[in-house]
Structure 1
Amino acid sequence: MIKRIQQKIKNLGKLTLFFMLTSCTFGAQAHDPQNTHQETPLLNQLSQKEIKEGWQLLFDGKTLNGWRKFHGEAATSPWKIEDGALMLEAKGGGDIITEHKYGSFILELDWKISPGGNSGIFYRVVEENQKEIWWSGPEYQILDNDNQSYSPLATEKSASLFALYAASEDHTRPVGQFNKTRLVIKGQKVRHWLNGYLVAEYEINSEDWNDRIAKSKFSVFSKFGTEKRGHIGLQDHGHQVWFRNIKILPLD
């Protein structure tokens, strides 16, 4: 009888340890900001949890609704839908922007770039007296880091704030695979995530920011990075690029 009791206690201890370890593992996964080690279960859809939290879908996977050309009307060819992704097929589509403006937010999306390709994600874009989208909107860079005809600077590689803040590490997946971007903007503080890794953070209008701007090509553009609200933009850099699962959580 005593041996049976001891064995039950031993088994109970193992079971308790199992649940403790399982709980810790699940807890660690829950703190992964993008849950990047798992495939997105819903393509171009919001989960019930996301809907309750206030997330908004910026691309339905079927149409170009909600997007238009920078300084223009609705987005058209060569922007198109391919296999549930918003794709730029060839040069000439022009940069496109969301119909609505956003201030503080969390933006998440998947992107895939073609071999040797270049593109970008702009934020707080305005059109008034701005000839180019990048005159006002800072750019989260998208690049095939490994197959360029030139040697890109650190600040020109994927997930960098183009020409200003370099991504700390290269966490891009091989060309042909989708990457997951998370862009977090709270007031003037900005964080760039790529495939689950925080790779860049900075504060707009800080002393460091202003010093970098003064030494850059953006110094002559008075609107660059100064707007509190603006459009989200996707760049036509003349290379094929795909976007999907584009969603935003407004924070203001």
Structure 2
Amino acid sequence: MTAKLLVLPLLFTLHGCTTDAVVDASECVNALSAQEQAEGWRLLFAGDSLEQWRSYDEDEVNDGWANENGCLTRVAWGGDIISREQFADFELKLDWRISDSGNSGIFIRGDESESSIHHTGYEMQVLDNAGHSDSKDPSHRAGALYDMFIPDHDTSKPVGYWNQVHIIAAGPNVEFWLNGRQTASFSQGSPEWKAMYAQSKFTSRPRYGSLLQGHIGFQDHFDKVWYRNIRILEK
């Protein structure tokens, strides 16, 4: 009995050493500027509720995602989450922070007709470029149109820092911006798009990238990730 009691504190200590980082509440700011308010932007996450989101093909957000100190956070396995609303033409801005060697992604224009959102929606990659092995493939680096469009530069910030995203979708024309620099620009269904699609891993998914309206989603790729200040302007 004494030996078992001595082991328990050690187990708790070891567990504590492997606990994922928690972002301080002072960093989880979710607020529109005066200019954004005047232009008609609105928050999709205000830091107090996940009511505008739900898990893919579910009615609510499951326990894998949580409001952690005011940040929308992947805290355990829970699958991808999606916005309750669907959007066609819009501008989306948000900040992300990835865990060490972490991987996630931002989906747009996906629906629930298939087994997962990445059968229809396409992804702006979220990645620790310095620590994750996926960065060996240039089309898998942060800011990329995942597995299709390669950024010509690495504008990502390292683990521990926030990255600023701006996605612009107008009809078939889409732009990805990361930390103030454009990382992808493409037109859905164009000859260039079809050529990239033909060389990608998505050729068995005929509806991939075919929608001009759909959900916004965040990927659960097994790693902790934080999102804040998620705001949208519909056009």
TM-score normalised per structure 2: 0.85
Tell me the equivalent position of 2:53.
67
What whole-Å deviation, never above 9, does each CA across 1:28-47 have from its counterpart, x for those lacking one? Answer: xxxxxxxxxxxxx9921223
Measure, in 2, the Cα distance between the counterparts of 1:199 and 1:217.
20
- Cα gap change, 1:109/1:119 in structure 2, threshold over 3 Å: closer, same or farther? same
Q: Secondary structure at the match of 1:219?
A: coil
Tell me the equivalent position of 1:54.
40
Tell me the equivalent position of 1:82.
68
**1:77 Cα offset (Å):** 1.5
Tell me the equivalent position of 2:14.
none
Tell me the equivalent position of 2:154.
170
Tell me the equivalent position of 1:216.
200
Pairwise CA RMSD: 1.5
- Structure with the greater alpha carbon radius of gyration: 1
Letter of the 1:96 counterpart: I
What whole-Å deviation, never above 9, does each CA across 1:166-187 have from its counterpart, x for those lacking one? Answer: 1221111120111100011111
Letter of the 1:76 counterpart: N
Letter of the 1:221 counterpart: R
**1:51 Cα offset (Å):** 2.1
Identity rate, percent: 39
Of residues 67, 79, 83, the one that matches 1:98 is 83
Unmatched segments (≥5 aa) in structure 1? 1-40
Match runs of 1:88-237 below 5 Å: 88-90=74-76, 92-128=77-113, 130-149=114-133, 152-237=136-221
Letter of the 1:114 counterpart: S
TM-score normalised per structure 1: 0.80
Q: Secondary structure at the match of 2:36?
A: helix
**1:222 Cα offset (Å):** 1.7
Letter of the 1:196 counterpart: G
Measure, in 2, the Cα distance between the counterparts of 1:74 and 1:202.
33
**1:52 Cα offset (Å):** 2.2
148-157 or 74-83: bigger deviation: 148-157
Unmatched segments (≥5 aa) in structure 2? 1-26
- Cα gap change, 1:217/1:149 in structure 2, threshold over 3 Å: closer, same or farther? closer
Q: Secondary structure at the match of 2:203?
A: helix
Tell me the equivalent position of 1:238.
222
How many matched pairs? 209
- Once superposed, which parts of structure 1, at least 4 consecutive aligned residues long, lie more than 6 Å away? none
What whole-Å deviation, never above 9, does each CA across 1:56-85 have from its counterpart, x for those lacking one? Answer: 210011111100011012113121112221
Q: Secondary structure at the match of 2:168?
A: strand
Measure, in 2, the Cα distance between the counterparts of 1:178 and 1:72.
29
What whole-Å deviation, never above 9, does each CA across 1:97-124 have from its counterpart, x for those lacking one? Answer: 0000001111000000001100000000
What whole-Å deviation, never above 9, does each CA across 1:196-248 have from its counterpart, x for those lacking one? Answer: 11121111111011011122221221211111110000000000000000000
Q: Secondary structure at the match of 2:202?
A: helix
Letter of the 2:204 counterpart: V
What whole-Å deviation, never above 9, does each CA across 1:11-39 have from its counterpart, x for those lacking one? Answer: xxxxxxxxxxxxxxxxxxxxxxxxxxxxx
Letter of the 1:183 counterpart: I
Contact kept in structure 1, 2:124 and 2:146, CA below 8 Å = yes
Q: Secondary structure at the match of 1:220?
A: coil
Letter of the 2:31 counterpart: Q
**1:151 Cα offset (Å):** 5.2
